[in-house]
Amino acid sequence: MLAGLRAPRKRLPCRLLYDATGAELFEEITRLDAYYPARIELALLRAHAAEIATRVGPGARVVEPGSGEALKSRLVLAALDRPATYVPIDISREQLATISAELRAEFPHLEVRPVAGDYTRPFDLPPMTPGGGRALVFFPGSTIGNFEPGEARGFLAMLRRLAGPEGMLLLGADATRDPKLLARAYDDEHGVTAAFNKNVLAHLNRTRGATFDLDAFDHRAVWNAQASRVEMQLVSRTRQVVRVDGTLFAFAAGEPLVTEHCYKHTPEALRLLLATAGWRSCQVFSSSQVPFRLWLCEATSAVR
């Protein structure tokens, strides 16, 4: 965090967006009509869940980094043949406890084993249930786009190691490059995305003794076509000095603080990214409305 604030182009780790309040705001974003990724991905899952379940097979162990409300994973779990275990991983302990209780009630024969923590850092999974089926890592929401490309490869390779030699990956990824569609999705007219973005400042005020004035920053979503990404920014409205964790940081008027990158990888780029991380796409489900895809992948013999 401090290193990012000291950088010539100030930025914060995007995981700071997802405290309890941020998690609630993000779930609100996913219900907005303007935020097409959630709506399109749900439609793809409903249409192809049976095909996915057939490919995965019985007794699967489903692992979901960044489980959130687990809305999409419920569709997957309901479609699978007698899934053995569900491992939700989330940084928000409150939300994790809630969805774990809900899923135990909804799927009485499913073993729910939550892991609280930051899934972008190395973590261990609970021991595998003897005699169970293959592991399915479920990573929806085009969240892979929040990683820098090199970090994305490392993260996918970590998932490959966790899934094991027979493991599978179900990945949701957006490749939309329409600036108008992206602007509406990442800067909605209701101001929910702006509140979600600004909450990172409130989070630092609470946890790091920061002195951010939320009204002194404007939310902005910028499409960077050359880098193929949406840049979530908080732009300083005036010249100001902010204290964070006992250190002073000066902001110029109009200076952006980057809070998140949302890469929109082309199919070719994503296929290469998966291959170098030890995954081979065996089935791709595409939307006819926007270039959003579900990638069902199998583990390959080695990570390049």
Tell me the per-residue pLDDT of 53-101, one tens digit each, with 9 for 90 and over: 999 999 999 999 988 888 899 999 999 999 999 999 988 788 889 999 9
The CATH number that applies at residue 160 is 3.40.50.150
Q: What is the pTM of this model?
A: 0.90
**CA–CA separation, 195 vs 304, rounded Å?**
41
In the chain, the N- to C-terminal Cα span, in Å, equals 31
**CA–CA separation, 212 vs 207, rounded Å?**
12
The band of 123, judged by pLDDT with boundaries at 50, 70 and 90, is: confident
Which helix or strand (DSSP H or E) is residue 142 part of?
A: none
> What pLDDT is recorded for position 304?
54
The average pLDDT across 173-178 equals 96
Residue 240 and residue 251 in contact, taking contact as beta carbons nearer than 8 Å: yes
For residues 283 and 253, membership in a common domain is answered with no
Give the range of the structural domain holding residue 295, as residue numbers without chain letter: 30-176+265-299
**Residue at 24 is within a domain:** no
**Residue at 21 is within a domain:** no
Number of domains in the chain: 2
**Residue at 170 is within a domain:** yes
Q: Is 11 helix (H, G, I), strand (E, B) or coil?
A: strand
To 10 degrees, the CA torsion angle through 189, 194, 196, 199?
-150
For residues 195 and 294, membership in a common domain is answered with no
For residues 79 and 144, membership in a common domain is answered with yes
For residues 104 and 119, membership in a common domain is answered with yes
Lookup: tokens for 217: 């920053």
List residues bridging with 111 in a β-sheet: 85
Where do we find the tokens 């908080």? 234
**Residue at 25 is within a domain:** no
Residue 112 and residue 86 in contact, taking contact as beta carbons nearer than 8 Å: yes
For residues 99 and 216, membership in a common domain is answered with no
For residues 182 and 251, membership in a common domain is answered with yes
